[in-house]
Amino acid sequence: MCGIIGILGEKSVAPLLVEGLKRLEYRGYDSAGIATLANGHIQRCRAEGKLINLEKKLRSAPLEGTTGIGHTRWATHGRPTENNAHPHATDRVAVVHNGIIENYASLKEELEGLQCRFETETDTEVIAHLVTHCLRQGMGPQEAAHAALNRLEGAFSVALVFAGEHDLLIGARQGTPLAVGYGDGEMYVASDSYALAPLTSRISFLEDGDRVTVRRAGVTVYGRDGSEQKRPVRITAQSGATTGKGEYRHFMLKEIHEQPAVIGDTLNSLINPATGAVSVSPEALAALEKAPRLTLVACGTAFYACMVAKYWFETLARMPCEIDIASEFRYREAPMPAGGVALFVSQSGETLDTLEALRYCKKNGQKVMSIVNTIESTIERESDIVLHTLAGPEIGVASTKAFTTQLVTLLCLALALAARRGGAAERPGQNIVDSLRHLPAQLSGLLKEIEPQIQDIARDIFESVHMLYIGRGLLYPVALEGALKLKEISYIHAEGYAAGELKHGPIALIDEHMPLVVLAPENDPLFEKTASNLQENVARGARVLLITDKKGEARLKGFARWIVRMNDVHPALAPLIYTIPVQLLAYYVAVTKGTDVDQPRNLAKAVTVE
Ligand code: G6P
């Protein structure tokens, strides 16, 4: 989703802006641009598509100046064209913006009445005209920016530069993130600390409602009520090193292969190597132990991790659990129990719906916990208790290693709670912990074994128009995740279904043209039931891709067109290993189709609009 960078520099700023934009690329975007001040005048360069197009334009017509702003745009209002790309500007001010101005239509009408000529289809352009109108009324840049920003409704962040003002950058945060970076004689603003990491490690995060006036000599922050505020400067742990693809063709493939290592790292932070005991934050356990209910909220793939976790928390720890998609949860005014715990799961830590759901729970007296991958994110900063997944930067838009590290973190939390509560769950819990410790090595072996086979299957099915994935219990969310991965990157329509639910509708779609992926380990207590569902579909002509273990293969090989044989694992760990083949399948189908695997069309990595 849109990324912002702004620099008050010492040397030519355009190359630094482009480098910063490259570090925002992972968020997903469809056009980009920069604006600089050259001899006091605003100059812009914008391009549709990837940054390479912007760089090409800048090579033939470089922008000078040491002050500038840059933007990667994920279109909300107006098509992803060069003309709609940010920065938007008049002769007095240039602006980059992330988020949505909800009252832009009425503001536009008002400004058109004042003879402002609009050139784009965006909501952002109203900011440039509104600020310019205020400047024309005789206000100074800061006063004009504040007056204009005070009229905007919605969730957004912005950065502005002004003609003739080489030492001024104004930023605002109202809902979506903005960080300020402190350099030596240089100052920066950006959507996240990752974008600024090569420039500085000294960062302060703005709070909602903040306006910031940035000059090379320092920064003044004004809170929502207009009074001056101090925002602490932290030393960020973000690495300035560029995350590369290494020997891999795509980030997604690299990230799939990193799973044994990052799952190992995450497990090492959660299991005491000497005693083999799960050790999660005592504060988290104390809160969970007393809570009458756990509410899990997230979006996308992170939501599927919560779906799996519901089974673990309920069966292993006997903890009543509610799960919901953040965009639904936040508006339904759910009654929250006294002493309840709400747990938010997010790779980016910035997903706006998840963040707003968190704020709702906080306001309603819940202890707020989060599981995040991106350090120093807003969700982390607003949580009472934080657990980190140690997946490292995930660049591919389709989430892979973040999901599996979320799963191991959630499982360890459920196991620790089960052990704390004692009783029947204690013994099986220890078996699971023992199996978990072998998981990284098992996954490495599995990846080697199944990858070539899945490449072949992908060649057989890549021309399909629709696909179905089914599973029961812990594997039902994995079926949903498999279908999501496939549609995200290969654009094949796919649906995940609870195996038992297929006959209530989707079975009508079954024919020899629609591959049916069945996730069914033989040691799963629900295997027999899924096996019957498989046979019902085969009887109707389904071509089945069966993902199962050795015994499952022996039982069902006569019914499947393709079989992927998995390691034997404790049934509670099945989601962790059965996710690997569905990730690989989506990847190889997409590669065979030739789609843009790492930056699929229309998708964003950090979704900062609702
Ligand atoms: C976007 C991403 C998904 C991700 C979801 C939630 O849709 O493309 O991969 O699962 O947002 O993101 P979060 O950062 O909160 O986990």
**238 confidence band (pLDDT: 50, 70, 90):** confident
- Cα 605 to ligand 1 centroid, rounded to whole Å: 6
Asked if the model's pLDDT at residue 237 lies above 80, the reply is no
Q: What was the pLDDT predicted at 425? A: 47
Q: What was the pLDDT predicted at 370? A: 98
User: Which atom of ligand 1 lies nearest, measured to the CA of 301?
Assistant: 10
For the Cβ of 352 lying below 6 angstroms from any atom of ligand 1, the answer is no
Atom 5 (ligand 1) nearest CA: 300
**512 confidence band (pLDDT: 50, 70, 90):** confident
User: Which atom of ligand 1 lies nearest, measured to the CA of 397?
Assistant: 8
Three-state SS string over 424-440 comes to HHHHHHHHHHHHHHHHH
Are the CB atoms for 467 and 483 separated by under 8 Å? yes
Helix or strand holding residue 296 (H, E):
strand 294-298
Helix (H, G, I), strand (E, B) or coil at 560: coil
Edge-to-edge strands, sheet with 234-235: 41-48, 31-38, 67-73, 3-8, 187-190, 179-182, 202-205, 234-235
Q: What was the pLDDT predicted at 282? A: 92
For the Cβ of 299 lying below 6 angstroms from any atom of ligand 1, the answer is yes
- DSSP result, 83-135: TTSSPEE-SSEEEEEEE--TTHHHHHHHHHHTTPPP-SS-STHHHHHHHHHHH
- Cα 399 to ligand 1 centroid, rounded to whole Å: 7
Q: What was the pLDDT predicted at 427? A: 54
What pLDDT, in 10s, does the model give residues 39-56? 999 999 999 999 999 999
Across 75-79, 144-148, 423-427, 461-465, least confident range: 423-427
Q: What was the pLDDT predicted at 236? A: 82
| Residues designated as active site | 2, 605
For the Cβ of 378 lying below 6 angstroms from any atom of ligand 1, the answer is no
**240 confidence band (pLDDT: 50, 70, 90):** low
Helix (H, G, I), strand (E, B) or coil at 284: helix
- Cα 349 to ligand 1 centroid, rounded to whole Å: 9
> How far is residue 160 CA from its own chain's centroid?
26
Asked if the model's pLDDT at residue 541 lies above 80, the reply is yes
Calculate the average pLDDT of the chain: 93
- Cα 348 to ligand 1 centroid, rounded to whole Å: 7
- Cα 350 to ligand 1 centroid, rounded to whole Å: 9
Q: What was the pLDDT predicted at 605? A: 83
Compute the distance between CA of residue 450 and CA of residue 591 in angstroms, rounded to an integer. 17
If one residue of 194, 297, 301 were mutated to test the ligand 1 pocket, choosing by the most ligand atoms within 8 A of its CB, it would be: 301
User: Which atom of ligand 1 lies nearest, measured to the CA of 403?
Assistant: 10
Over residues 267-292, mean pLDDT: 90
- DSSP result, 502-530: GGGTGGGG-STTSEEEEE--TTSTTHHHH
Q: Which of 194, 195, 204 is nearest to 237 (CA)?
A: 194
Across 7-16, 224-233, 272-281, 342-351, least confident range: 272-281
For the Cβ of 351 lying below 6 angstroms from any atom of ligand 1, the answer is yes
Asked if the model's pLDDT at residue 414 lies above 90, the reply is yes
- Taking every pair of Cα atoms in the chain, the longest distance, rounded to a whole number of angstroms, is 82
- Cα 603 to ligand 1 centroid, rounded to whole Å: 9
Over residues 54-62, mean pLDDT: 97
Tell me how crowded residue 290 is: count the other CB atoms within 10 A of its CB: 11
**423 confidence band (pLDDT: 50, 70, 90):** low
What pLDDT, in 10s, does the model give residues 366-382? 999 999 998 888 999 99
Tokens in use for 440?
């990284």
If one residue of 348, 370, 387, 486 were mutated to test the ligand 1 pocket, choosing by the most ligand atoms within 8 A of its CB, it would be: 348
Asked if the peptide bond before residue 87 counts as cis, ω within 30 degrees of 0, the response is yes
